[in-house]
Structure 1
Amino acid sequence: MSNVALIVPERAADIGSFMVGRLLPFRQKRAVGPFVFIDHMGPAKMGPEENLDVLPHPHIGLSTLTYLFEGAILHRDNMGNEVEIRPGAVNWMTAGKGVVHSERTPDYMRKAEKALHGLQIWVALPLDLEETDPSFTHVEARDIPQLERDGLQIKLIAGEAFGQQSPVPVYSRLYFLEIKSSITQTIQLGDELYGESGLYILEGCVRSDGNAYEPKQLLIAKDSKLCTFEMEAGSTVYLFGGEPFPEERYIDWNLVSSSKDRLSQAREDWINQRFPIPPGESDYIPYPTRD
């Protein structure tokens, strides 16, 4: 990517029963457009006694986007949704004024060898929708727009670009693209992008301005309109961003808001068990204690 402003390395983080690579937030860059949080899950090989078990936990003020490359996750929430997500599909959950969900290995996979690999993303909501009613949408892989262009395979996972719009119901102007190249070539996408832009390298190599960038690196552009880079054959990258909000967003654990007072209220509500737990669940993640 020409005009690289910042290189963000993947950093190990523990989400309870699973280690992930954290990309956002970063101390020098808290958000890219409305994207405020990105975790890279895996790739992980899991034995018959190893399973993903993220117990019920709350969110406010954001939408979550789950996108898998390999494996499966069973989503349960306190709206009554119980949905299994598979590779290429999208789970889009809007927390708004408050939601609780769990993420687990499906029952039929729990005693088998399995793999898990994907991205977990939080997208902040516009100020006037931070307290909207919660909702959940599942979009199958076959319904994600796909384009073939000059040796590129492009999926518009969320948002709008290339004159198309994903069926994922986003609430602000953004884009989240998967780009695969079958040949080594220079990619020029500046006219398709807007706002702030980040590029995550999943596999292969990206070159720009004489520098080579490898997997597990997130590149932040100075100007999305100047987004030009070379992809090696067999590379896969994820390009995301959009228009940033004028107000700062604060994060407290799994809670996001433009108001610190609202974060405090949500924190107290969770500690005092005022959020309902999803059907089929009995335990939950307590608010983390700090030394």
Structure 2
Amino acid sequence: MSNTKLIIEERAANIGNFMVGRLLPFRQKRMVGPFIFIDHMGPVCLSDEENMDIAMHPHIGLSTLTFLFEGAVMHRDSLGTEIEITPGAVNWMTAGKGVVHSERTPERLRNSKKMMHGLQIWVALPKAEEQCEPSFAHIPADTIPTWQDQGVQFKLIAGKAFGKESPVPVYSPLYFIELKSNKTKTLSIGGDLFGESALYILEGSITSDGNTYEPKQLLVAKDATLCAFEIAAHSTIYIFGGTPFPEERFIEWNFVASDKAIIEKAKKDWQDNTFPTVPNETLRIPLPPPKRFGG
């Protein structure tokens, strides 16, 4: 990637149950296209006494994309959704004007050792959709476009690219692509991308212009034209990006908006307990003291 603009290292962040590696937002780069938040969860082995238990919490102005490599998460939300996400599938929850959800280890795994590894992503909504009605979509793993090219396995998890379209119901032009290679290959895929673009290395490495980049690094391109790079054998990388919004986005806690007043109202609504609730859930995560996400 000869036009690398910025290299972002994973930074440890505590989400309550365990540490994650935070990629976005970053002090020098708040968003890549519409992507505004990315956490790398794990890999972590939880004992038979340890479980993921993220109680009810709210969102506005964004869609969440959960993509697991290992483990399972039971998703429950204020729309009445109750579904287990497993590796390779996509949970896509659009908060719009407001949704509440919880994320927990499924009952079948709570008393056994289990792995947890995946990506938690927030995609900001276009201004016209920020206050839309909330919705939820679960996309099974076998419906996500997967193909081979140049000896590399591609998977279009969300958006449009390479003449293909993922069934994930996105709201703006974007792409989120997985590349896996068992052999060392040189790739040139820039012509199929647009807007802003970044490359995240999950495992293995890539080499470009004599520089080698390794896991836990996020490479932000100067433009979407990812020039030729070499992907090492046994590597998995993710390329994501899309068309940036014309307006700035503000982010505080779990809230995203183009207007700070919308965030302030959401904060008050959560404190006043006027958000919808998740059926059969009583525990709520309280609004934290003022703090902006950042590098």
TM range, smaller chain: over 0.9
**Equivalences for residues 1-291 of structure 1 within 5 A:** 1-290=1-290
| Displacement of 1:290 | 4.5
Question: Post-superposition shift, 1:202?
Answer: 0.2
Task: Give the Cα–Cα distance (whole angstroms) in 2 for the partners of residues 151 and 272 of structure 1.
Answer: 55
- Does the aligned pair in 1 maintain the 2:150–2:187 contact within 8 Å? no
Q: In structure 1, list runs of 5 or more residues that go unmatched.
A: none
Q: CA deviation at 1:229?
A: 1.4
Cα drift, residue 182 of structure 1: 1.9
**Which residue identity does 1:23 align to in structure 2?**
L
Counterpart Cα distance in 1 of 2:122 and 2:250: 13
Q: TM-score, normalised by structure 1?
A: 0.99
CA contact (8 A) 1:221 1:227 kept: no
Q: Distance in 2 between matches of 1:163 and 1:124?
A: 24
Identity %: 63
Offset at 1:227? 3.2
Q: Deviations over 1:69-128 (max 9, x none)?
A: 000000000000001000000000000000000000001100000000000000000010
Unaligned stretches of 5+ residues in structure 2: none
Q: Deviations 1:205-227 (Å, cap 9, x if unpaired)?
A: 11111111110000000111243
Distance across 2 between alignment mates of 1:31 and 1:229:
23
Structure 2 distance, partners of 1:279, 1:72, is 20
Q: Distance in 2 between matches of 1:280 and 1:178?
A: 36
CA distance in 2, matches of 1:250, 1:137: 25
Deviations along 1:113-151, whole A, 9 cap, x unmatched? Answer: 000000000000001000000000000000000011121
Spell out, residue by residue over 1:161-210, the C-alpha distance to the aligned partner (whole angstroms, 9 max, x if none). Answer: 01010000000000000001121111111111000001000000111111
Q: Cα offset for 1:17? A: 1.3
Q: Deviations over 1:30-75 (max 9, x none)?
A: 0000000000000000100000011110000000000000000000
